Chains A and B, each alone.
Chain A
C-alpha cells in the first residue's frame, strides 16, 4: 500500500514525539531512570506525550528563529542577566530550566551539574536542533555561552556517564551543505558585523537522530520517502512524504499522521520588544527596521 501525506513543522514535531516515547531507550528511562529535556518546541510535544498534559513551566523554549531574527525567550534572558551563578564558566551547569521526568513526575529547577551527578546509562537526554544535513548529521545554534553552552556540557558528560542523547528533528531543518561546512561558516560569531538577532555559532552534535522518516518506521514499520517540501498560507516548512509498506503498516502510519495533523504549540513565545532589548550585537535593536512594524 502507498499513501501520500503532508505534515507541517508542528505536526512533524508531534509525530516525532509519538515515536520518541516508543523508543526502547526512552521507555526504559521512563520506567527505571530519568528523561531530561532541554525546553523547546520539539520537546514540548514530547513532554505532553509523556505527561498527558502541557507542562506548567515558566520556560518552554530558550532561543528560536522567529520571522524577525534569531531571538531568545524573555524569561531565559532575565535569568542569564540577573542570576550571578549564570555568569562565567559555570553558567551552563547552573542552567535550571531542564525538564526532568522521573517516576512519572515532572521535576523542574534542578541544575545541569546536579543532573550530571546522577545520570547514567539508563537515562536519556533529549534536545531539539537547528540544522540537519543530507547525511543526517545535526547541529545546534549557540547564541550565548550560558544557555547555548548547555549542549556542549551535556555531550561531555555523556562521554563520561554513558546516557543516551536523542535529537528530534523535522526535515524543515534540512540544510544543503554538510554540518561541518556550516559549523566552519558560523565559527566567527563574535566577529559578525551585522546580525539579525543573537550572533550564533553552530555546534555539531552526536547522538541518535529521529526525523519524520525514522518516526514512521518506529511507529509502524512502514518506509517514508520525502518527495517535496514547502507550502503556502501556513504550510511553509511542510514536508510531503510517500509512505509505503504492508497494508497494516501504512494504515498504522496514516493513523499516527492523522493524529498529528492540526497540532499546535500550546504555549506562547514571549519575544523581547526590539525597542527594549539589550542585545548589543543585534542589528535590529531599537526596532527601526520597517518589517518589524508589520
Chain B
C-alpha cells in the first residue's frame, strides 16, 4: 500500500515524539531509571507523550530562531528560576525536565541530574542542524549547559537521542558547518550570535525513523516546503503492507494540527540579555 502525506514542522515534532516515547530504551529509562529532557519545541511533545500531561514549568523552550533572528524565550530572562537570578554557572541552571522512576522532577540543577545519570538513562535534546547522513548539530550561544552534559556523557555513556524533523536539514555535513560557525568571530548578526556544535554521537530520529518505529512502514521524502503556514513542511510517500501503512497514517493523522505554546519574546528595547551582541530592535522587519 502507498500513501502520500504532508506534515508541517510542528506536526513532525509530535509524530517524532510519539516514536521516541515508544522506544524501549526510553520507556525503560522512564520507568526504572531517568530520562532527562532539554526543554524545546522538539521535546515538548515527548514529555507529553511520556507523562500524559503538558510540562508544567515556565521553560518550554530556551534559545530559538525566530522571524526577527536568534533570540531566547522570555522565561530565560525573568522569574525566580532565571539564570539571571543565580550566579552564572551552567551546572547550576534549573529548567531541564527529568522523569525518574515514572515521576517528574523539574527543580534539580543540570549538575545534580548529570551526577545521577547512569548508562541505562537517556538524555533527549532538540537540534538545529541535520545532515543527510543523520549527523546533528546544535546552536550554542554564550551561556548554556552543553559542556556539563557532554562531560557527564563521556564518563557515563548514557543514551543520547536527538529528535530532528527534516525541516532542520542542511545541505552540507554538520561537521563542515560547525567549522564555519565560530560565534566569537562574527562582526554582524541578527540577535544572539551562535556557534554550531557537532554532536560526536547519539541517535537522530527524523520523520522517516518515526514512521518506521511506529508502524514498520518505509517513508521517503519527495518534497519539502510550503505556503500559508506550511513553510518547512515535508511531503512523504509511505510504503509498506496495508497494515503498516494504515498504522502509519493513524499516527500521522493524530499528529496533524499539533500546536505548541505561544512564544514569548522580549522587546529588544527592554531585553535584559547582556550577551546579545546584535540587537535587532531598530530593524524594519522587527
Residue ranges of A at the interface with B (Cβ–Cβ < 8 Å) = 1-6, 8-10, 41, 61, 64-70, 130-132, 134, 136, 139, 141, 170-177, 181-183, 185-186, 188-189, 191-197, 199-200, 202, 225-240, 242, 244, 250, 254, 258, 261-262, 265, 269, 271, 289-291, 294
Contact = CB atoms under 8 A, between A and B. Distances in A.
A44 to B, nearest CB: 11
Contacts of A240: 65, 70, 128, 139
B177 A65 contact: no
Contacts of B176: 225
Contacts of A199: 4
26 contacts: A3-B189, A4-B186, A4-B193, A9-B225, A65-B225, A66-B228, A67-B230, A69-B6, A132-B171, A141-B223, A175-B223, A176-B132, A185-B239, A186-B237, A188-B2, A189-B4, A195-B3, A227-B177, A228-B168, A228-B181, A230-B9, A230-B165, A236-B231, A242-B181, A261-B284, A294-B259
Residue from B139, B196, B257 whose CB has the most chain A CB atoms within 10 Å: B257
Given A193-B1, A228-B137, A175 B222 contact: yes
Contact of B237 (A64, A185, A265, A290): A185
A45 B281 CA distance: 26
Given A173-B224, A227-B129, 7 more contacts: A130-B225, A229-B170, A230-B65, A232-B64, A232-B66, A250-B187, A262-B284
Q: In terms of DSSP, what is the predominant structure of the interface of chain A?
A: mixed
Nearest to A242: B180
A202 B220 CA distance: 12
Interface string B169-198: 111100011101101011111100110100
Contact of A261 (B41, B165, B220, B285): B285
Contact of A2 (B128, B129, B187, B235): B187
Nearest to B169: A174
A195 B128 CA distance: 30
B6 A232 contact: no
A157 B221 CA distance: 29
A136 B171 CA distance: 9
A99 B139 CA distance: 41
Residue from A70, A197, A239 whose CB has the most chain B CB atoms within 10 Å: A70
Contact of A65 (B1, B6, B9): B6
A66 B226 contact: yes
B169 A170 contact: no
Contacts of A66: 6, 226-230
A72 to B, nearest CB: 12
Nearest to B182: A2
B45 to A, nearest CB: 13
A254 B3 CA distance: 43
